[in-house]
Amino acid sequence: MDLLNKFKNSLNANNYKLTRQREDILKIFLENKDRHFNAEELFEEVKKINYDVGLATVYRSLELFCELDIIHQLDFDVSCKRYELNIQGNHHHHLICLECGKIKEFNDRVLEEFENSIQKEHNFKVVNHRIKFYGICKKCEV
Amino acid sequence: MDLLNKFKNSLNANNYKLTRQREDILKIFLENKDRHFNAEELFEEVKKINYDVGLATVYRSLELFCELDIIHQLDFDVSCKRYELNIQGNHHHHLICLECGKIKEFNDRVLEEFENSIQKEHNFKVVNHRIKFYGICKKCEV
DNA sequence: ATCGATGCAAACCTTTTGCATGCAG
DNA sequence: CTGCATGCAAAAGGTTTGCATCGAT
């Protein structure tokens, strides 16, 4: 089942209505899997395909999508909230260039093991982690 | 040299004045090394020892202290900016309990090595990293 | 037809800024 | 004395909310 249908089922199962606006907003996420939208940017994109969407609806949809685990909040940006799609098997972390601000994603395997040692050493049952490496990307290093 | 004097020198070296307010704000940080203040909380604390401090001064001091590398911004909280002291040799990461919200700090050694593999694999020169583990703390697990 | 979802505008909250005054150097 | 730092209040983002209307079921 593709993501759009999965989303539709999820709405249904939770007694939320499938509206034009919600579908359009999700489409923007699906068509830009590598982007990390904030509300304003998402609003700009959605207006291109449906001019009558309000900013408040974008905010309300972002909250709803988080609740349904379709997207999650990111913490790159201290001045606004950013979001990205939750795609199964897409657990990854970010390399953030201090020069150009470009964000590259990378998958990890090593760190999963590391969680176990934390669990033992600190009596802390790890559920999730969020890791950011700041540095200088290939392009900027020249 | 203790941190307070180090701070005074740093101000001086950069042609900033040592004011009563700046000193009082830094004192709050020094007396609460384990806390992660936002502006409002810091403001409340400072007012206890110096009632005439304005909130704008707190914000301006936070910016200045970041510039001087005395403190740094944290990203736990998407709804406000939080800060903690930069203490040499105190590079650490955070275990954040999803139940009670308590934040425990831990030091790492293993991860430093991991940076090297990223550097090779992704052509990305790592300068810094920020890592958060979310989970359930000892107290909440019972 | 019903009740949740929407658009708009107003409210809110955190942070920043302009300006007259204060005070460290 | 001089110019940076401060307090206050206003402004500026970003986000949330109240309310009348719209539209999915």
Residues 77-116 of B with CB under 7 A from strand D: none
pLDDT for A1-13, tens place per residue? 678 888 888 998 8
Q: Does B112 lie in the same domain as B49? A: no
Q: Does B99 lie in the same domain as B80? A: no
CA-nearest residue of chain B to A82? Answer: B78
Q: What is the dihedral of CA A66, A94, A96, B131, to 10 degrees?
A: 90
Which CATH number characterizes residue A19's domain?
1.10.10.10
Q: Does the beta-carbon distance from A126 to B135 stay under 8 Å?
A: yes
Which CATH number characterizes residue B105's domain?
3.30.1490.190
Q: For position A59, what pLDDT does the model report?
A: 98
Q: Does A61 lie in the same domain as A108? A: no
Q: Does B8 lie in the same domain as B77? A: yes
List bases, strand D, within 7 Å of protein CB: 4-10, 13-18, 23-25
* Domain end marker among B53, B69, B85: B85
Q: Does B68 lie in the same domain as B98? A: no
Q: For position B25, what pLDDT does the model report?
A: 97
Q: Is B60 within 7 A of strand C by CB distance?
A: yes
Q: Give the angle B76-B79-B84 at the CA atoms, nearest 5°.
A: 40
pLDDT for B3-20, tens place per residue? 888 889 999 889 999 999
- In the predicted model, is pLDDT for residue B1 greater than 70? no
Q: Does A120 lie in the same domain as A70? A: no
CA-nearest residue of chain A to B103? Answer: A124
Q: What is the pLDDT along chain A (142 residues), one digit of tens a residue?
A: 678 888 888 998 899 999 999 999 999 999 999 899 999 999 999 999 998 899 999 999 999 999 999 999 998 898 999 999 988 667 788 888 877 778 888 877 777 777 888 888 888 988 888 888 888 888 887 7
Residue A135: closest CA among B118, B110, B86, B73: B118
Tell me the C-alpha distance between A35 and A28, whole Å: 10
Ordered alpha helix ranges (H), B2-54: 3-13, 20-31, 39-49
Residue B59: closest CA among B79, B73, B75: B73
Residues 56-115 of A with CB under 8 A from B: 73, 75-76, 78, 81, 95, 97-98, 104, 106, 110-111, 114-115
Q: Does B81 lie in the same domain as B11? A: yes
The tally of domains found in chain A comes to 2
Tell me the C-alpha distance between A118 and A115, whole Å: 5
- Residue range of the domain that includes A18: 3-85
Q: Does A105 lie in the same domain as A81? A: no
Q: For position A58, what pLDDT does the model report?
A: 98
